[in-house]
Amino acid sequence: MNALWRLVGARRHERERGQTLVEFSLALIPFLFLLMGTLDLGRGIYTNNGVAQAAREIARAASVHQCVGPCTSATWSAEIREAVNTQKALVPGLADSGVTIDCVTIGGAPVVVDGDNPICPPEDYIRVTTSVSFRLVTPLLPIPNPFTVSSTSHIEVQIP
């Protein structure tokens, strides 16, 4: 009789091991989605803060050391170039093509910067827009992937 109980107990233990494996596999999938979603959220917040900080830092440099003529990556001053390169090292995916610098009025209307007016006049604003393409790691989220994270900073040009 004792051997029979051991045999029944052994079979029950084998079934419980199989049940535990099935339960673990069912619980693992939602856990991994939560973990990956949390990592994506952290990366997204880091990228958003980095893009905003990059726009502010480049705007500070551009308001003091302006481009001569229309501001493109070819006409950036050495100080603007240094600020852009520093931010490119800090923000993953930031490139020269993701940085636009232009001169605007307080209302946001563009100011023409050309040969007659080579720099942004005092009391107008330097507007810097930075943008980065951000790709989620988590699959199956109802969010377009990749999407653009961008930020704009305005800083007034001071009277020299």
The pair of three-digit structure tokens given for residue 79, joined into one six-digit string: 């100080």
pLDDT for 95-129, tens place per residue? Answer: 999 999 999 988 888 888 776 777 888 889 999 99
Structural domain harbouring 6: 2-156
Distance between CA atoms of residues 128 and 125, nearest Å: 10
Residue 120 DSSP symbol: P
Q: What's the confidence (pLDDT) of residue 12?
A: 60
SS3 content of the chain, % helix, strand, coil (to 5): 50, 15, 35
Q: What's the confidence (pLDDT) of residue 108?
A: 85
pLDDT band at residue 73, thresholds of 50, 70 and 90?
A: confident
pLDDT for 47-58, tens place per residue? Answer: 999 999 999 999
Q: What's the confidence (pLDDT) of residue 71?
A: 83
Helix, strand or coil, per DSSP, at residue 145:
coil
Instruction: Provide the number of structural domains found in the chain.
Output: 1
| pTM score over 0.85 | no
Q: How far is CA 120 from CA 73, 101, 116, in A?
A: 16, 11, 11
For residue 150, report the phi and psi dihedrals to the nearest 5 degrees: -140, 160
